[in-house]
Amino acid sequence: MRSTEMMTKFPHLGQASDKHLTHEPPDFRHEDWKYTHFPQFQQYTIQLPSALSQGDRTSNSVPTIPLEDDTWIVVVKNGVIQPHLSQLPDPSSGISIRSLTEADVQHSEEPGLPFGALAMKHGHYFSQWAMAQHAAGLFIDVKKDVVAQKPLLIQTINEITEAKQVLPCHHVVRLAPHSSLTLSEILEGDGAGMSLAVYEIHVGIGANLKHNQLQLWANSQECIQQVLVAQERESQYAHFAYCSGGKKVRNQLTVSQEGQMAHTELTGLVLPGRNEHLDNQTLMRHISPNCSSRQRYRSLIGHEGTSVFNGKVYVDPDAQKTDAYQHHASLLMHESAVSNAKPELEIYADDVKCSHGATTGMLDAGEVHYMRSRGLSEIQARLMLQEAFVRDLLESLPVESLRSWCINHCVERLHDLNRLTD
């Protein structure tokens, strides 16, 4: 029994195993899962990395992104690091990247290790399920005062061919006090299976993590992901999400500001096309005073595509002087496009500044006509307006080479979505 084996390694996971055994996956009656649920999840079978193809040296899984030379790269195929395709940081850099299980064995005696605690506390059903399956993944550890000299790129390629097969992953990122790292991820693949990932991210005192995730799932793939972040005082965490596709994708971002003067930036762009369902949920937990957060999400939804955004801001009674902002905008490219947006503010402190806004609409016919009357075709006008809707978000992606790649990818995606809409 895998879960028993786990309990000896991670005593605190016992709770998860129990939960997993006694609870069913949340269905539409659960408010957080109202628009996105996985009713057949219990029939899914687990695919462990060892059972999946790892490809070979000649496979085309080398990053297709023209990166600056100065980038550390980790290629992970079907849950396994591909050393021959990766350029890992030198040990002298103060940054180590290891397989999670290996790290766990080496450091299990060390007190305060970051494996499992966050997922146990704030993980949803699927995260806890993944933990109970002893999901493997990466452990990225940045030492105290280390300012990463290069950005780090993780390219994850999941090719789980069969539907109702799930590959669970568990990644841990730890930034020791006053360290800083830019961590970018490209998540892609093929097949009909599900990628299930749990991230536990600890941002130490005064540390700064820029975390960019580009999800390029094929429209046959499913994904459930939860990123759990704990921020110490004076730390900064910025998350950028670009979700260009996927059959059914559920991303949850849960950020807890555990110390004062922490700042969080959450940015997301979602582009679902036909028969694609992309769900982004955020939970911003303001539990310490004098912290701030900024959330900006946009959905551009094609013909028969669905976007879900649920943004929760929780302000604890102790979190006085919180400054929280959240905005979500949807642009529907067709009458068949669906947007479900739900801001939720739960505020228990009285001296705070919290604002939110949400808009949903189609392109303004007057704007399109104005542009046509100056000589642009209808499709040129639409593309220009759609690009304008997303461009400033894309401009906020911090790595230059990744940013220009992402802008090009997005423009191509918009062309595709418009073609489908016609």
Partner 1 sequence: MLLEIENLRASIEGKEILKGINLNIPSGEVHAIMGPNGSGKSTLSSIIAGKDGYDISGSIRLDGQEILDWEPEIRSRAGIFLAFQYPVELPGVGLSSFLRACVNERRKYLGEPELDASAFLALMREKAAMVELSQELIRRPVNQGFSGGEKKRNEIFQMAMLEPRMAILDETDSGLDIDALRIVAEGVNKLRHAQRSMLVITHYQRLLEYIIPDRVHVLMDGAIVMSGDRTLALTLEEKGYDWIRAEQEVSS
Nearer to partner 1, 66 or 375 (CB): 375
Indicate the residue among 28 and 370 with the shorter CB distance to partner 1: 370
Rounded-to-integer distance, Cα 217 and Cα 190, Å: 7
Out of 380, 400, 412, 419, which residue is the one contacting partner 1 (CB under 8 A)? 380
Count of chain residues binding partner 1 (CB under 8 A): 20
Applying CB under 8 A, among 113, 384, 411, 420 the residue interacting with partner 1 is: 384
Q: Smallest gap, in angstroms, from Cβ of residue 298 to partner 1?
A: 11
- Of 287 and 384, the one with the shorter C-beta distance to partner 1 is 384
When asked if residue 377 is in the footprint of partner 1 (CB under 8 A), the reply is: yes
**Shortest approach of partner 1 to residue 387 CB, angstroms?**
8
Cβ proximity to partner 1, 223 vs 393, nearer residue: 393
Instruction: Closer to partner 1 by CB, 30 or 369: give it.
Output: 369
Asked if residue 358 binds partner 1 (CB under 8 A), the reply is no
Using CB under 8 A, which of 105, 147, 362, 388 touches partner 1? 388
Q: Does 378 bind partner 1 (CB under 8 A)?
A: yes
Stretch of 136-144, 250-258, 281-289, 361-369 lying at the interface with partner 1 (CB under 8 A): 361-369
Determine if 366 is a binding residue for partner 1 (CB under 8 A).
yes
Rounded to the nearest whole angstrom, what is the least distance from the CB of residue 378 to partner 1 in the complex? 8
Select from 22, 60, 375, 422 the one that contacts partner 1 (CB under 8 A): 375
Q: What residues line the site for partner 1 (CB under 8 A)?
A: 364, 366-367, 369-378, 380, 384-385, 388-389, 391-392
